[in-house]
Amino acid sequence: MKTKLTDELKKNICDRDIELLERALDVLESNKYCIMNKFFDGKTMISPGIKNFHGIWNWDTAFHAVGVSRFDSKLATDQIEGFFDYILED
């Protein structure tokens, strides 16, 4: 499912910023992938780059969660849960 800005969110944003936000969401959307392994258990995660990096960076994941939280709360929740699921005991 493609994440889009709702009309409610667009109300107080100028056209230039709407275009910028939609382009940013497109980048995040293109870097989403679903991971089925012991750490992520099918969560949809956002990678820093699908082509060159297959995994997450914890500090990026927190920023991704904040960035998508107003547009896709399930995706934001997956980022935070994946962040904590991947922490190694050592």
pLDDT digits (tens, 9 = 90+) for 34-56: 766 656 677 888 887 767 766 66
Return d(Cα 45, Cα 76) in angstroms, integer. Answer: 9
Give the model confidence (pLDDT) of 11-40 as tens digits.
Answer: 888 999 989 988 888 888 888 877 666 566
pTM for the predicted model, two decimal places: 0.73
